[in-house]
Amino acid sequence: MGYLAVALLFISFLVWMSRVLYSIWWKPMKLERLLKEQGIVGLPYKLFYGNLDENDALNKEARSKPMNLSHKIAARVAPILHHTVEKYGKLSVIWYGNHPRVTVFDPEMVKEILSNKFGHFEKIKLNPLLKLLATGLAQHEGEKWARHRRIINPAFHLEKIKLMLPAFSASCVALIDKWEKLMDPHGYSCEVDVWPDLQHLTGDVISRTAFGSSYKEGNRIFKLQSEQALLMIQAASSVYFPGLELLPTKKNLRRREIDREVRALLTGMIKKKEKAIKLGEAAPDDLLGLLIKSNLKECQEGGNSKGMTIEDVIAECKLFYFAGQETTSVLLNWTMIALSMNSDWQTRAREEVLQIFGKNKPDFDGLSHLKIVNMILHEILRLYPPVVALIRSTYKEMTIGGVTFPAEVEICLPTVLVHHDKEIWGEDAEEFNPERFARGVSNATKYQTAFFPFGWGPRICIGQTFALTEAKLAMAMILQNFWFELSPTYVHAPFPIVTIQPQYGSQIILHKL
């Protein structure tokens, strides 16, 4: 019996070893050969780590020093992508561990991948450590994604966003009051690092609009999620081993502690809101209330199995914070930096705002007439897209644009590189020129899918209108009250922490109008 047990153990070990060798050697070699046969080459695969060493080295080099004051940021925010494309071409491969990631530039191929009509190009699966920050709609596939999108849609309807404008305004007024109190009483100016203030502004907006009367709890969630985001970046920068999240390390324990507190806060708010809606105590006017009302309706019409569970609602609330706060804060930050660098466009934008609103608080209808401000925001989204790249993966062999992608290949749509491509946008692709959007997004370039800061196709970001409305209002109110310029202490160093952020802050001199 003892010999049998030893034999079974030995066979189990051999099976396990064969699976490991298949995963880290035989399969990568096979995929590398299939890609190379089609002319898709890049940095060679290295056992287990792939090109992670090169990625770390290039990242450290890029972040070790600031850059010149320009918008030519691709080499700094996406160094391995920039290096690989420069050396191996626009259709090239980078190895993230044992996963090949093929870079795709061609706008028609981008369109087909993001259209994803048959679900052939899926989001890559997050490791368990990253799932603690946000999953929800952004990670779901198939019927679950369709159902969640249907339930969440009413919360982001244009008329609902219009009702949230007072909450947007209240947060902006608080920011402007803070800046005015910092002013030198004699010169009516001050130097401010606007980056943390803009982060607080957009977090405050999400707290007000997502949770309404539960604003204090919402602010607590914002702080916790911000800390969780920093912990997530640290997890994403290293190779993930199955079970790593279970180790009782200091960071893992803190991640779990944050997750438990966020879940407890959200569960309490959700149950309280559900009870109020069922009793007809108040009409929901915040994102959480609208989501719960829509979910209750879905359950009544299709049975409990058709709606969201409380875990699903918690995940979507986390996503409200992560996506809503991050996207708008970086958009406002780089808009203020660019307008400080281009005083003529700042003047044009201010004149437009004052012509439409004067010194009155901006209203929803007036915001839709801010053509110049809209052009500027779209140009910033082109030059400084919220995320460096969109990643998809194949679960079976797919052929698009004459290229065959084997199963289990990741596809990288390098947003920042495509947005800066001179073949698509012209020789001034890396310059600030809002005029290119004068005739709208669809006419900015001959390739409509060459501009995808919020994604594209059926999975385009559901909060796009929310984010742009918030950004327009904030910029309008800032322009009404201040003119601004870069401080001599400002150091231009964009770098990616989930979104493209200023590494050393954004020091700006504000002058009261």
Q: In this model, does residue 36 exceed pLDDT 90? A: yes
Whether residue 8 has pLDDT greater than 70: yes
The CA-atom distances, in angstroms, between 249 and each of 239, 245, 316, 348 are: 16, 9, 28, 53
Confidence at 128, pLDDT banded by 50, 70, 90: low
pLDDT at 473 over 60: yes
Per residue, the 3-state secondary structure of 263-332, as one string, reads HHHHHHHHHHHHHHHHCCCCCCCCHHHHHHHHHHHHHHHHCHHHCCCHHHHHHHHHHHHHHHHHHHHHHH
Lowest-pLDDT choice from 24-28, 354-358, 366-370:
24-28
Residue 19 pLDDT > 90, yes or no? no
The pLDDT value given to residue 190: 95
Q: State what percent of residues in the chain have pLDDT above 90.
A: 48
pLDDT at site 291: 85
Whether residue 364 has pLDDT greater than 90? yes
Decide if pLDDT at 180 tops 60.
yes
What pLDDT digit, counting tens, does each position of 314-348 carry?
A: 888 777 777 777 889 999 999 999 999 999 999 99
Across the range 436-453, mean pLDDT stands at 91
- pLDDT value at position 134? 64
Q: For 218-238, what is each residue's pLDDT tens digit?
A: 778 777 877 877 777 666 655
| pLDDT for res 216 | 74
Task: List the strands of the sheet with 92-96, edge to edge.
Answer: 41-42, 92-96, 99-103, 410-413, 390-394, 121-123
Tell me the pLDDT band of 119, cut-offs 50, 70 and 90.
low
User: For the CA atoms of 210, 216, 219, 225, what is the dihedral angle to 10 degrees?
Assistant: -90
Tell whether the torsion through CA atoms of 77, 81, 84 and 86 is positive or negative.
negative
**Confidence band (pLDDT; 50, 70, 90) for 437?**
very high
Helices (H), 128-164: 128-131, 142-152, 158-163
Q: Where is average pLDDT lowest: 55-59, 319-323, 440-444?
A: 319-323
Say if CB 255 and CB 228 are below 8 A apart.
Answer: yes
pLDDT over threshold 80, residue 491: yes
Report how far residue 156's alpha carbon sits from residue 460's, in angstroms, rounded to the nearest whole number: 13
Asked whether the predicted pLDDT for residue 274 surpasses 90, the reply is no
Confidence of residue 471 (pLDDT cuts 50, 70, 90): very high
What does the buried/exposed string (b/e) look like for 37-48 if buried means 16 or more CB atoms within 10 Å of the residue's CB? eeebbbbebeee
Q: Please compute the mean of the pLDDT values over residues 361-374 and round it to a whole number.
A: 96
- Residue 129 pLDDT > 70, yes or no? no
Beta carbons of 474 and 499 less than 8 angstroms apart: no
Quote the CA–CA distance of 119 and 394 in Å, as a whole number.
Answer: 9
Mean pLDDT score across all residues of the chain: 87
Provide the pLDDT confidence category of residue 44 given band limits of 50, 70 and 90. Answer: very high
CA pseudo-torsion sign 57, 63, 64, 66: positive
pLDDT above 60 (res 239) = no
Q: Could you tell me what percent of the chain has a pLDDT over 70?
A: 90
Confidence tier at 127 by pLDDT (50, 70, 90): low
**Residue 304: predicted pLDDT:** 53
Q: Is the pLDDT of residue 118 over 60?
A: no
pLDDT at res. 198:
96
Greater model confidence, 305 or 25: 25
Q: Which tokens sit at 511?
A: 């002058």
- Residue 15 pLDDT > 80, yes or no? no
**What SS3 class is residue 98?**
coil
Q: Band of the pLDDT at 425, cuts 50, 70, 90?
A: very high
Residue pLDDT, tens place only, 59-106: 999 999 999 999 999 999 999 999 999 999 999 999 988 889 999 999
CA distance 284 to 307: 18
Band of residue 136 on the pLDDT scale cut at 50, 70, 90 = low
Mean pLDDT of the 485-511 span: 94
Q: Is the pLDDT of residue 247 over 80?
A: no
According to the model, what pLDDT value does residue 238 have? 59
Rank 193-197, 226-230, 268-272 by mean pLDDT and report only the highest.
Answer: 193-197
Query: What are 46's two structure tokens?
Result: 């290295």
Structure confidence at residue 124 as a pLDDT band (50, 70, 90): low
